[in-house]
Every structure is written in C-alpha cells, then in structure tokens.
Structure 1
C-alpha cells in the first residue's frame, strides 16, 4: 500500500449522495465527506470501483462487508463510490446483502476530485473509465494511504494487514 507522497487530498466540501440500508430500510443522504468526518470518531476508507454487480466489484464489496467489524475495531468506516445510480446501488446492496454505504457519483464530481477517471485500453479501443482505487483518511481527515489500479480480489484483507501494522 503506497503512502501518499506529493498527493495532498483533503476530503471535499461539496455534497454527494450516499445510500445505505439500515434496519431494512434504505436511507439516502446528501452529505459532504468533510462534514461527515467532523461528526465521527473514526477514520474513513473511501474506495472507488467501476460498476455495481460486476464480478470484481461484487467480490470487493462483499469482502469489505465481511471485514466491516475488523475495520471498525481498527477505527475505520468504509464507503464505496461508483458512477452508478442510487437505484443501481440499492439493487447491489440488496442483492449481495452489503452493509457498507455507497455513494452515487453519476456526475463524476467526486471521481474527478480524486482523479480516478483515466484513459483505459479495452480491446484496442481507448476509453475513459474509473480506475479501482482506495484512499484512507485518519480521524482528523488527513490522507494516510492511497492506492490506484488495485486488484479487487483479497484487497480488504491486504488493507487490513497494512492498517494493523500502522
């Protein structure tokens, strides 16, 4: 896991739409991530993934849900971000019993802020796509770890190992 070097990213003040399932009901909130951190006593893992209900993204979301308690014991909350709609997120959460909140970034404002939209080469055709990435912030909202182009499989376990050592 790479520690940030020249990358100085603070949590943004602009509103984003977060959806989660609590007590069997979906709750959608327009929040600012910087304001969210002010009200919490935990750090934040913000991870970006390309698309709901695709194999790698599903594996990663299920792994984060499976290890949610372990991350909580280390003092971190987890939020996933993709460009999918709120309705897509609700389906994804329901279908896979995810316990992590998801941000719908359909306007790509958050993705662009974190610079996770990059040119990709798919079967010889260049397209812009979301690069699977993760950013870890401490309780004060300071970026402590950043990783781009990560592998979805077993990423939650690898991140747990890194955060346990820190």
Structure 2
C-alpha cells in the first residue's frame, strides 16, 4: 500500500535522531512535511536540509513540522543533523518501510550503473493526517520555498 492525495497516510514509526521512535500519529493536529533524501552528508541533501532548517520558523508559523528521512543508519543521521545544525528530526529508515509506504525507492543510474535508491521527494500531510500534496523527482533549488507556500496555503484554508 502506498499513499494517495486526499487519503489518510497510514501511521508509521521509525527511529529519529535522539535515538527515539517517532510516529506520524504523534504529530496529529499539525501539518507535517516529510521529505526523503538519498544520502546524509552529500551536497544536494545538505543544501536541501539547510533550506528547510532556515525556514523552520516560517513552517512553525503555518503549524507545520518538518521531518527528513533517508536509509542512512541512526549514527549517520545524528552526525548529519549535528554538523548541519538541523532543527528538526531525521528518521533512519534502513529497512525502507517508510520509503516504500511513500513509493520513493526507484531504479537510478550512477556512473552508468543501475541501483535502487531514494528519489528525492517531499510530502505535505494535513493536520488530520491526510496527504495534501506531493513533489517527486525534486530539484533542490527553490524547493523548500515552494513547500512552505503550500504549507501556508493549506494552513490558511483550515
């Protein structure tokens, strides 16, 4: 089963930075941005995380929580968060449970070789737990601003 616009997002739990479990249901009543990135501490992922970090106050003003997800282990996530001073949780999804729920594992090519990896994607979940928007195959530049505008519009409409 994968998520669909307008449908409730099934609850999931994964290990978050701080080595604590985080469940989607813990965030009910707030909008949630779940963004998937291929690998911690790589240039594009660092830029994307920084863009969300720098807009956290604006997201908070729109009653929106930010959560980053990759297949990296919790130690790599902790290091990435600390080094980049991210002010939101990162989830370790080594078993790809959350990635598969959102259907972000795709066949990719790197240096001519094919492999399965995370397609950079972002999802906006409304305060009732329904999927409101999705962005797949994301280009980092300007993306956090676009998501912020969508979060503001969704919040204003509630």
Query: Is there any run of 5+ residues in structure 1 with no aligned partner, and where?
Result: 20-26
1:31 alignment partner, one of 2, 11, 22: 22
Query: Is there any run of 5+ residues in structure 2 with no aligned partner, and where?
Result: none
1:1-166, aligned counterparts within 5 Å?
7=5, 10-19=8-17, 27-33=18-24, 35-38=25-28, 41-166=29-154
In the aligned structure 2, how far is the partner of 1:163 from the partner of 1:80?
Answer: 16
In the aligned structure 2, how far is the partner of 1:89 from the partner of 1:103?
Answer: 7
Q: TM-score, normalised by structure 1?
A: 0.84
Q: Give the 3 Å change call, closer, same or farther, for CA 32–165 of structure 1 in structure 2.
A: closer
Aligned-pair RMSD on alpha carbons? 1.8
Task: Decide which moves more: 123-132 or 143-152.
Answer: 123-132
In the aligned structure 2, how far is the partner of 1:102 from the partner of 1:28?
Answer: 10
In the aligned structure 1, how far is the partner of 2:95 from the partner of 2:6?
Answer: 23
